[in-house]
Structure 1
């Protein structure tokens, strides 16, 4: 390209920089130094063009030269106008794409379903000063909730230092922060108070407020079951279900321990029972109480373990399920140990539909298989598989001695989780219209160290949702996400915005203008 062409391009780009400097100041970065820098650079480039083309500009009165200069100026102004219009349109029709590995800027399916199911408006009031490090993150979280449910989720911020009455109302001490989530518009509307929440805590607060008549969940004890409260021993915490208990509370259940010894029936306020890894036999009166409970439309989640007996075999057989002896092994679908199964083989049951859609892998250590009967159970019972092994699995009857399939051992695709139901609308002393039972061949997935595995947690909580007739709780919960954000200062954000919405588009327009001017003069 000749020097004349280069100087013309330089003049055009200088004019664009000069004219777009107000755009930089008021619409993109808001940075005064950047705007002034653009204006100065544009003025220098334009001045250089004027000096190098002073003769040509002196003849500007000629028709051809005047027409050229006018067209150049108009083209530059038109390009800037298009740039401004595109940026304004992008701002008004802003669409975000979450490219993070853990989708930390997207709401989980459970959150979206919870917001869609709100029957009354929910309000979140954050008592936090604007200078707090978490202010921006919390505002972004609230904004996503409001965008998902603009009619039913509203939020506001209040500075405790400027609103002492609010701080006193919630007994907020100096330096403390909290979020008040309430349901309804009345002054005495039910509410819950949270520390600065993540998505899971905020969604669980909405679930708790929305739950009408919280269901009581009894976790049975007295037969070696895993305790609802994790015990503390001399060597640290033992094995327990503290994390499961917290999850139940978050989702609107009321978990309590229950010993059936001496009771003639399961308490009438039981919304659901959990048997978590019993290691001793239930007595005949206890089994009778369980049988009566399901016969009246009760709900039960049953978890067992390898090498244990609990005397409930005939009771489970009434609902078409038998727990096999031995431990399931799989030579291909495992976590490095053939007895630690990894499965993404789901039945057609609604419990695992969300997991199947996301292609989740459920991991079960030392799990027992189940045999589903085709006959011989109570009339009206319907039983179906929920989770299965791969076709390469087998039941190892001597896990301490052998890790390969032997003659006589059960092989093929085995059932690991099953669900049974039975219509009980005609039962005496009916509790619910349908009895529901979920049987899982492993109880260790409930323990605190294993509860963080997202697919397992959703499998258990979805089974609870199905058994308790709460279809809205058959979903995927907000995961314990790994933070992968990049912290940027205010100056860095301004620079990034300037490059993305100002410098880069102007550079592309300048290159296009240079090509056009070069070809025009040929």
Structure 2
């Protein structure tokens, strides 16, 4: 009876009451924490604390998704659950932002019939995406195009630098929902180059151009759907018939871009010279040398860093201070007599302290010598020939005196080279401004603090927090000791 009374009295003691209260509070706090976590886990909203808003859609993307008027299906190739986590995050956010977006996963190995429908544009490897408004209007995005890569100069290995999934998806959405796609025809033959030779196919198609090859001999004319014709780095002169095809095309408001190369172009090109001459341009067969040390690179005075002139093509590059490197260039000239209506505008030029070597093949020095032609020189020009009839298209040309500026090795060290080419296509085609979304960096930025703050944080972590915990524990012990 005494033991029972002792036990019952212990439940009535102050120590038991305080201990019970403490236990009850601990259980309640734990229940609240668990409940809050369960509720928060069901809320779709997330707070993106990354510097480049890696887990958020840009405002431009949200605007595009909100304006979609057709249903678009985005299909991930591969087994369900094998999707890339970052890419899946972008896709999920797009689907949440628009009821027009539908997400699917298809394994091409178990569904080969589906894969054949979309395989025309390239290999459909696991992890790639197909953005489709219909079976005839679609765009594939290779898995390796969903990220940007850069060569590590120490390890010589490709490293992922940024997430380009949103950028590629926005471009694809604009392509499949556009009423009209701008078509660029690349001239075949004449030992000319294609976009693939410059590694520019993906960049051009990524800007929503449809790229087709043009064999003028087989076609017999320039196709009527040609918005722009590209003649890149021809080695031979045009035939009289093909030059006439291009003249007819230009006379009807055509758009032509010509990239020439001093080392590759034939010594005599009367048909090409006449074609360009009709629009007020001529080519000076000389090697341009730059005398201003600030206007050339790699200690090579023929690796030019040209000056940007005032034109819509180069204004964005000039404002962003993007470097453009142009190696081994000829010069363009404007004849004394030209059609009055023509507007010929320089895009790129050299400094006053430049000269051209006519006998460049036998020259033993880049220094200025007797017989060299004095600069400055125009390296690229834009020509506009206004239409004679109201409502008709103006004729436009862009001529560049060095095709070497688009070599892959040159593009890698000069950010402005590809931009200049793409801006030229945009100006020629009068392509309307489209939404442009930047890739999102995956670089980790370390927290950098100065010495003073380092000492303060060390004192807080090493001294103040432990002392605070020790003091709180000592206070609790002293209170309970007197209970």
> Is 2:308 the partner of 1:346?
yes
Would the aligned equivalents of 1:393 and 1:411 in 2 still touch at CA under 8 Å?
A: yes
Mapped to 2, the partners of 1:21 and 1:398 lie a distance apart of 87
Contact 1:300 1:438 in 2 (8 A): yes
User: 1:263-285: per-residue Cα shift (whole Å, max 9, x none)?
Assistant: 4x434343322111223322334
Trace 1:234-245 onto structure 2 (pairs within 5 A).
Answer: 240-241=197-198, 243-245=199-201
The one-character-per-residue Cα deviations of 1:108-131 (angstroms, maximum 9, x if unpaired) are 999899879866564534356675
The answer to whether residue 366 in structure 2 is matched with residue 403 in structure 1 is yes
Change (3 A) 1:282 1:130: closer
Matched residue, 2:139: 192
1:182 to 123, 126, 132: 132
Q: Mapping of 1:412-491 within 5 angstroms?
A: 412-426=375-389, 433-447=393-407, 449-450=409-410, 454-472=415-433, 484=443
Instruction: Give the equivalent residue in structure 2 for 1:303.
Output: 259
> Which residue is 1:389 aligned to?
350
Runs of 5+ consecutive residues of structure 1 not aligned to the other structure:
1-16, 31-90, 230-239, 487-502, 515-522
Q: Is the 8 A contact 1:438 1:463 kept in 2?
A: yes
What stretches of structure 2 of length at least 5 have no aligned partner?
1-25, 39-44, 118-124, 147-163, 446-456, 469-483
List aligned pairs for 1:145-160, cutoff 5 A.
150=97, 154=101, 156=103
Aligned-partner Cα distance in 2 for 1:113–1:440:
37
Mapped partners of 1:394, 1:324: distance in 2: 12
The separation in 2 between residues aligned to 1:18 and 1:406, in whole angstroms, is 93
- Cα distance, 1:279–1:165 mapped onto 2, change above 3 Å: closer
With over 3 angstroms needed to count, the CA separation of the structure-2 counterparts of 1:106 and 1:131, relative to structure 1, is closer
**Counterpart Cα distance in 1 of 2:27 and 2:348:** 66
Instruction: State the match for 2:281 in structure 1.
Output: 321
* TM-score (ref. length: structure 2): 0.63
Task: Please give the residue correspondences for 1:38-57 in structure 2 after superposition, counting only pairs within 5 Å.
Answer: none
Q: How far does residue 320 in structure 1 lie from its aligned partner after superposition?
A: 2.5
Q: Distance in 2 between matches of 1:23 and 1:125?
A: 41
User: 2:48 touches 2:56 (CA, 8 Å); kept in 1?
Assistant: no
Change (3 A) 1:105 1:455: farther
Q: After superposition, where does 1:262-301 map in structure 2 within 5 Å?
A: 263=220, 265-301=221-257
Aligned match for 1:138, one of 87, 94, 100: 87
What TM-score, normalized by structure 1, do the two folds share? 0.59
Supply the RMSD in Å over aligned alpha carbons: 4.9
Q: Which residue of 2 aligns with 1:226?
A: 193
C-alpha separation between the residues in 2 aligned to 1:464 and 1:403?
Answer: 34
Shift of 1:297: 0.7
Which of 317, 321, 327 is the aligned partner of 1:359? 321
Q: Displacement, 1:470?
A: 0.9
> What is the rounded CA distance, in whole Å, between the counterparts of 2:59 and 2:102 in structure 1?
21
Once the two structures are TM-superposed, the CA of residue 392 in structure 1 deviates from its matched residue by: 3.9
Q: Give yes or no for contact 1:249–1:255 (8 Å, CA) kept in 2.
A: no
Distance in 1 (CA, whole Å) between partners of 2:56 and 2:351 is 32
